[in-house]
Amino acid sequence: MPDTTLPGTDTPFDDLPADLLDDLRTLVECESPSSDPEALARSADLVAGLGTRLLGAEPERLGIHLRWRLGGPTRVLVLAHHDTVWPVGSLRTHPFAVTDGVLRGPGSFDMKTGLVMALHALASLDDRTGVTLLVTGDEELGSPSSRALIEDEARGAHAALVLEASADGGALKLERKGTSIYEVVLAGRAAHAGLEPEKGVNASVELAHQVLAVAALGDPELGTTVVPTVAAAGTTRNTVPAAASFAVDVRARTVAEQVRVDTALRALTPVQPGAAITIEGGINRPPLERALSADLFARAQRLSAEAGLPPLTGVAVGGASDGNFTAGVGTPTLDGLGAVGGGAHADDEHVLVDRIPGRTALLRALLVDLVTDQPADQPADGARAGV
């Protein structure tokens, strides 16, 4: 591949696809916080233009989401997102830069490098039959508007490749816990805290009881965590609180554990006479269980060895991604194929530049292998050709 030198530096990266760093810099410098519709629209326009140039086809515009169906029914779904957690203005304190082979900038690791890798890997393919690239704009919010789109596209696919950043050292993510998000709302009765507290029902006291009951629902042996987080209660110092609430973050490796915790939360009963409990929220993302990643991981390990790349490792992680949704509909899913680095969502967010070529080559090899491995009953020129 031709030499690539990042503008503003004198550092060559001989093995990078031409223009990849230029494209990555352009995306990182277009700030795209999930909660800013105008910024997301600008980012979607930029990604659409970049993809059109590289893939020779315009995407379907689905609000802040973009979809390229590159010929035939979706057999391989490639997933990425262009939103980040970084607010507009973050470039002033965290500018895009490459120093001693380490690339930095808001959203560079999570996950704009993976998005650019996907575009360049797809651009290099001679045959893209059955490949769909879906780039969403609300992943960092839990994918509220893209979940159905992801699930619908995944249902007909034989594989989903997720370009989220790798785990430590470049490990792929073979297992992700499912997530559930709750708000426990407690109702009591107000009274004067000094004159007649006995006439009240103290929502803060009820909160204390219920926080302990909820925290006890975790199961460390099964990897299930149930964590009370943000809490609020009361209105004034001298009033018995009539209302309180606390949030609960649940992570579980299996659907059965998600259901167990959900059932237990909804069965909570008040400790104090006159208090009431309402449970809001529920199961958000199903788990990515290892069984759904095992075959794709073995394939990736074989291809990596054949290409002379470093041995691939795989790990289980607690965080969730859109790969949870593809796995939730039964589609084999391989996650963590994107950048190698660290510091997601943190001041130290960074990407190791010398790992980008090998990761892009691995993604390309996986795509070629999966496209070539075409079922006999699926025509190569299926009805969904084009975009």
Residue at a domain's end among 226, 261, 285? 285
Question: Both 273 and 302 in a single domain?
Answer: no
Cα separation, 136 vs 32, whole angstroms: 12
Please tell me which residue in 23, 31, 138, 139 is annotated as part of the active site. Answer: 139
Cα separation, 163 vs 5, whole angstroms: 24
Phi-psi region of 130 (alpha: psi -120 to 50; beta: other; left: phi over 0): left
Instruction: Output the pLDDT for position 319.
Output: 86
Question: Both 297 and 275 in a single domain?
Answer: no
Instruction: Output the pLDDT for position 387.
Output: 29
Question: Both 28 and 148 in a single domain?
Answer: yes
Question: Both 173 and 201 in a single domain?
Answer: no
Percent of the chain with pLDDT over 70: 92
Query: Does residue 263 belong to any structural domain of this protein?
Result: yes
Query: Does residue 336 belong to any structural domain of this protein?
Result: yes
Question: Both 72 and 173 in a single domain?
Answer: yes
Encoded tokens for 209: 């009881």
Question: Both 256 and 279 in a single domain?
Answer: yes
Element (H, E) at 187: strand 178-187
Nearest to 252 by CA among 318, 316, 315: 318
Nearest to 335 by CA among 121, 180, 159, 123: 159
The 10s digit of each residue's pLDDT in 153-163 is 999 899 999 99
Instruction: Output the pLDDT for position 72.
Output: 85
Residue at a domain's end among 254, 285, 316? 285
- Let me know if 83 is a catalytic residue: yes
Question: Both 150 and 299 in a single domain?
Answer: yes
Give the mean pLDDT of 39-51.
98
Question: Both 82 and 26 in a single domain?
Answer: yes
- Domain of 209, CATH number, reads 3.30.70.360
Residue 22: partners with Cβ closer than 8 Å, 6 or more residues away: 4, 6, 7
CA dihedral 239, 243, 244, 250 (to 10 degrees): 170
Please give the tally of structural domains in the chain.
2
Query: Does residue 13 belong to any structural domain of this protein?
Result: no
Instruction: Output the pLDDT for position 375.
Output: 55
Question: Both 166 and 241 in a single domain?
Answer: no
Instruction: Output the pLDDT for position 15.
Output: 63
Question: Both 158 and 196 in a single domain?
Answer: no
Question: Both 308 and 204 in a single domain?
Answer: no
Strand arrangement, sheet containing 97-99: 97-99, 102-104, 350-352, 341-342
For tokens 């167990």, the residue is 260
Cα separation, 263 vs 194, whole angstroms: 39
Cα separation, 204 vs 338, whole angstroms: 45
Please tell me which residue in 83, 138, 206, 335 is annotated as part of the active site. Answer: 83
Question: Both 77 and 167 in a single domain?
Answer: yes
Phi, psi (rounded to 5 degrees) for 192 = -70, 125
Helices (H), the chain: 20-28, 37-55, 113-123, 147-155, 203-215, 255-266, 294-306, 323-328, 356-372
Cα separation, 319 vs 167, whole angstroms: 11
- Let me know if 139 is a catalytic residue: yes
Instruction: Output the pLDDT for position 301.
Output: 97
Query: Does residue 69 belong to any structural domain of this protein?
Result: yes
User: Is the per-residue pLDDT at 19 higher than 60?
Assistant: yes
Cα separation, 118 vs 134, whole angstroms: 10
Which domain, by its residues, includes 223? Answer: 186-285
Cα separation, 374 vs 361, whole angstroms: 21
- Domain of 74, CATH number, reads 3.40.630.10
Q: CB 305: neighbour CB atoms within 10 A?
A: 12
The 10s digit of each residue's pLDDT in 129-138 is 999 999 999 9
Residue at a domain's end among 225, 258, 285? 285
